[in-house]
Structure 1
C-alpha cells in the first residue's frame, strides 16, 4: 500500500482532543440528594478521588473517526486494485538512410507487428516504406510536439536517431512515458553540412569542428548564403566606424568573405547592423550589434554591447576579439554550426518522464473508507444519544 499524501497522517494527533474531553467530563460530579443520605457518615459522603474514563465505547468510536479521516486524507493507494494497462509501441525514426539501414531489422519487425511507426520529419509521416528515408527531410523540432500532444501514457516510445549534438539545443523533452533510444554507432556523415559560397568556387563551412575555407564546392549540403555580406553603421562615431571596418577587413582576409556597405534606405537587405538603438526585425540572416545597451536582448539575433565600440571602453576591441565576435554571431544566424557528436548517455539526459494528469495515481480505497466512516459516525451518534451526551 502507498500513501499519496502521507503528511496528512499528522492529523492523527487530534485523537488527544476526545481523550481530554472525556477525562474532563469524568471529573464532573452531579450531587444527587436522596432520603437516606443524612444517615451516612461524613467520611462516606466524600467523592472518590482519581480519574476514570466514562463512556468508553463512545470514546473509542470518536478516536476511530479521527484516525479514519486522517487516513482518508493521506490518499491510500493499493496497486493490486489497479487494472493492468496494455501498452502499445510507437517508433519515431530519423529519415537518414544510414540510420535506417543500421536498424532495419528492428524497424521491419515493428512494421510486421502493426505498431505505429513515424518518420521524424515535417508532419510526422507514417512509415510506409523504408525507401522514404531518401525523400524526406529531418525535422528535429517535431519531436517536442510529438511527446507533448500525440504520445499517450500507455504507449512505449522507441526513438532511432544519430548522436547529433543539435538535439541538446532542443527545449526540455518531456515524455508521458519512458523512452527507449536507439542511437547509431556510426559517425555522423560530413556531407550535407551547410556552407557559404565564396568567390572563386570556394566555400566556407565547418570542417572537423572548425570554420574554414574549402577549395571544392560540395555536391551535397545546404547553401545558406551567397554573395557579399552587406553591413551598415548607424549613429556611430568616426573612431567607432574605423574599428568596425578594420574588424570586417580582418574577417575578409582570413576567411575570404566580402563585405560591402549597404545604402541608407536598404534596412531589410542588410546582413550586419552596427547601431545605438534596437532596429526593426530584419531578415533571418541579419544580426544587429547595439552599443551602449545593457541586459539580454529579446529580439532574435540582436546583441547588446555595454560600451562604445572604441579601444578605451570596449574589451573586445582592446583584446582584438571583435572580428571573432562578429563572425561568430553571424554564422550562428546562418545556423552554420559544427556537427557535434554526443554519446547515448548525453541524449538520454535530455528526456524527462512526467506522466500526464490522467495517468497520475489516485487514491483507490477512498470509496470503501468513506463508507466505513459513515458507519462509524452513525454508531457514534447512536451511542451519544443513548448516553444523553
Structure 2
C-alpha cells in the first residue's frame, strides 16, 4: 500500500488521545459525604471495580475512528485491488522502414497472438499490415501523445523507436506504466558527431570582450565545441584589419561589418536593426549573470548559431541504448479507479464506526441518567 499524503500518517499519534481521555474520566469525580453514604459504599465499589465491556468497546471504536480518519487524509493506494487484472501487451511503433524490417519477426508474431500494434502517427492508427507504413513526417513528435493514449493499468507497452539524435531535442518521454524499449541498434556508440561542409577548414574567430572573464567563458565554450564537432578554431583577442574573420563574438557595437562573417553580440542594450548574420545574445556571457552559461549550454547554443549561419550539416550518429533509456522514464501513475475504490471503503468503515460509537455512547448516557 502506498500513500499520496504520507505526512498525514503522523496523525496516528492522536491514538493516545482517546486512551488519555478514557482514563481521565475514570478518575474524575468529587466525593460528597451525606447521611446514607456508608450504606452505598460497598455497592458502589463493587460496580466500579475494573473496566466494563461497554467502556472497552467505546475505547476501541474511538481509536478506530482516529485510524480511519488518518487513512482517509493520507489517501492510500493499494495494488491488491488490481491483482487479478491480466496484462495485455500493446506495441507502439515509429513508422520507419528500417525499424519495422529489423523487428518484423517480433511484430508479426505479436499480430498472430492477437496483440495490438499501433503506429506513432497523429491518428494513432492500428497496424494491420506491416508493409503498409503510413507516411508521417517527424513521427517522434507523436510518441508522447500515443503513449498517453495507450497507457492503461492493465497493459504493458512495447516501444519501437528510431534512435536518432532528434529525440534529444524533445522533452523526456513519460511512460505511466510498465514498458519495454526496442531500438534499431543497442550498441554503445563512442564516435562523436562531425560537421559536414567545412572540409577541414580552420575557422578564424575574434573574441572581443571588455571583461576578461567573459572572454575566458566564450573561449572555453569554443574549445568544447571544437572537441565535440571536430572543428579547428584560430582565435584572436584583438581585431586585426588584415584578417578575414569567419566569426566575431563581442559585447560592443559593430564598427567593421562583413556580410560573410557571423556576429554574436552579448549586450541587450544594443537596439540597432540587426542583419541576418548578426545574432544578439539576451544578456552578458558572465557566469554570475547568464543562466545559459550556468547550465553549461553555451557551447550548444553557439554551435547551433554557427551551423545555421554556415548552412552546415551534422552527420547523424545513432543514440546508444543507455542514452535512449534516459529519454524514456517510467513515471508513477495515479490509478484513480483503485484509489477511489479504496477511499470509498475507508469512508464507509469510518461512517459505520462513527454510528456504532455514537449509539453505544448515547445508550450508556441514557442508562446512567435513569439509574
TM-based fold match above 0.5? yes
Kept in 2: contact 1:177–1:355 (CA 8 A):
yes
Structure 1 residue aligned with 2:369: 388
CA distance in structure 1 between the aligned counterparts of 2:125 and 2:77, rounded to whole angstroms: 40
In structure 2, do the counterparts of structure 1 residues 337 and 211 end up closer, same or farther at CA, with 3 Å as the change threshold? Answer: closer
**SS where residue 174 of structure 1 aligns?**
strand
CA distance in structure 2 between the aligned counterparts of 1:284 and 1:124, rounded to whole angstroms: 40
In structure 2, do the counterparts of structure 1 residues 284 and 7 end up closer, same or farther at CA, with 3 Å as the change threshold? Answer: farther
In structure 2, do the counterparts of structure 1 residues 332 and 107 end up closer, same or farther at CA, with 3 Å as the change threshold? Answer: farther
Q: CA deviation at 1:286?
A: 8.4
Q: CA deviation at 1:341?
A: 3.6
Asked whether 1:28 is paired with 2:30, we answer: yes
In structure 2, do the counterparts of structure 1 residues 150 and 325 end up closer, same or farther at CA, with 3 Å as the change threshold? Answer: closer
In structure 2, do the counterparts of structure 1 residues 157 and 332 end up closer, same or farther at CA, with 3 Å as the change threshold? Answer: farther
1:30-63 C-alpha deviation (Å, 9 max, x unpaired): 33323x96xx9xxxx9xx99xx767734432331
Aligned with residue 370 of structure 1, among 351, 366, 369: 351
What is the TM-score normalised by the length of structure 1?
0.59
Matching of residues 53-64 of structure 1 within 5 Å: 56-64=52-60
The structure whose Rg is larger is: 1
Q: CA deviation at 1:142?
A: 1.6
CA distance in structure 1 between the aligned counterparts of 2:122 and 2:30, rounded to whole angstroms: 82
In structure 2, do the counterparts of structure 1 residues 19 and 132 end up closer, same or farther at CA, with 3 Å as the change threshold? Answer: same
**In terms of mean alpha carbon deviation, does 276-285 or 358-367 score higher?**
276-285
Asked whether 1:210 is paired with 2:194, we answer: yes
Asked whether 1:156 is paired with 2:147, we answer: no
**SS where residue 92 of structure 1 aligns?**
strand
**SS where residue 32 of structure 1 aligns?**
coil
Q: CA deviation at 1:279?
A: 7.5
In structure 2, do the counterparts of structure 1 residues 133 and 360 end up closer, same or farther at CA, with 3 Å as the change threshold? Answer: same
1:115-151 C-alpha deviation (Å, 9 max, x unpaired): 4322234544432432344844342122223333553
CA distance in structure 2 between the aligned counterparts of 1:88 and 1:281, rounded to whole angstroms: 59
CA RMSD of aligned residues (A): 5.0
Structure 2 residue aligned with 1:358: 336
Structure 1 residue aligned with 2:91: 91
| Structure showing greater relative contact order (alpha-carbon pairs closer than 8 Å, 6 or more residues apart) | 2
Kept in 1: contact 2:81–2:338 (CA 8 A):
no
Aligned with residue 15 of structure 2, among 12, 15, 19: 12
Q: CA deviation at 1:101?
A: 1.4
**SS where residue 139 of structure 2 aligns?**
coil
Kept in 1: contact 2:284–2:290 (CA 8 A):
no
Q: CA deviation at 1:345?
A: 4.0
Q: CA deviation at 1:183?
A: 2.3
**SS where residue 160 of structure 1 aligns?**
strand
Number of aligned pairs? 303
In structure 2, do the counterparts of structure 1 residues 383 and 102 end up closer, same or farther at CA, with 3 Å as the change threshold? Answer: same
**SS where residue 197 of structure 2 aligns?**
strand
Structure 1 residue aligned with 2:228: none
Kept in 1: contact 2:158–2:181 (CA 8 A):
yes
Structure 2: tracts of 5 or more residues without a match: 200-236, 249-256
Kept in 2: contact 1:157–1:177 (CA 8 A):
yes
What is the TM-score normalised by the length of structure 2?
0.61
Q: CA deviation at 1:93?
A: 1.1
Matching of residues 160-171 of structure 1 within 5 Å: 160-171=160-171
**SS where residue 355 of structure 2 aligns?**
helix
Matching of residues 322-333 of structure 1 within 5 Å: 326-331=302-307
